[in-house]
């Protein structure tokens, strides 16, 4: 499967604890492609059909850029608020409080 990279993204996104968020850049870094956060976003684009909490993935400033493709624009923000995520006056997630950095745990080669 060439989707080995996908697997890593999925594993990481799935492990985001409730009430926490992470950024594309951190996921990318944990996947070993820190230079390409876009690829992470693209991966999620294909993963949006999965049960991944993609609403917990935001860009580096905490903006919910993914909501555009997430479907319901307000749903994403609502889900985060339901989990205890706080937003600043700009409508961005307060990464200072809720940023969760994924561990570079190696994906078990099944």
- Closer residue to DNA, CB minimum distance, 61 or 86: 61
Catalytic positions:
54
Q: Which residue has the tokens 């889900």?
A: 79
Total interface residues for DNA by CB under 7 A: 30
Round to whole Å and give the CA distance between 108 and 110. Answer: 6
Q: 86: number of CA atoms within 13 Å, CB side?
A: 7
The residues in 32-71 that bind DNA, with binding defined as CB under 7 A, are: 33, 35-42, 44-45, 47-48, 54, 57, 59-61, 65-66, 68-70
Shortest distance, CB of residue 66 to DNA, whole angstroms? 2
Query: What stretches of the chain adopt beta strand conformation (E)?
Result: 22-23, 57-58
Is residue 2 close enough to count as binding DNA by CB under 7 A?
yes
Is residue 24 close enough to count as binding DNA by CB under 7 A?
yes
Q: 6: number of CA atoms within 13 Å, CB side?
A: 12
Question: Phi, psi at residue 87, to the nearest 5°?
Answer: -115, 150
- For DNA, the binding residues (CB under 7 A) are 2-3, 5-6, 23-25, 33, 35-42, 44-45, 47-48, 54, 57, 59-61, 65-66, 68-70
């Amino acid at each position: 499967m060439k989707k080995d990279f996908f697997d890593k993204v999925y594993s990481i996104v799935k492990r985001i604890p409730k009430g926490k968020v992470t950024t594309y850049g951190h996921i990318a870094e944990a996947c070993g492609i820190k230079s390409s956060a876009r690829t992470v976003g693209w991966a999620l684009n294909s993963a949006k059909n999965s049960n991944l909490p993609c609403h917990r993935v935001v860009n580096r400033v905490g903006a919910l850029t993914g909501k555009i493709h997430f479907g319901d624009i307000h749903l994403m923000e609502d889900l985060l608020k339901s989990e205890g995520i706080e937003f600043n006056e700009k409508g961005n997630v307060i990464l200072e409080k809720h940023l969760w950095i994924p561990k570079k745990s190696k994906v078990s080669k099944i």
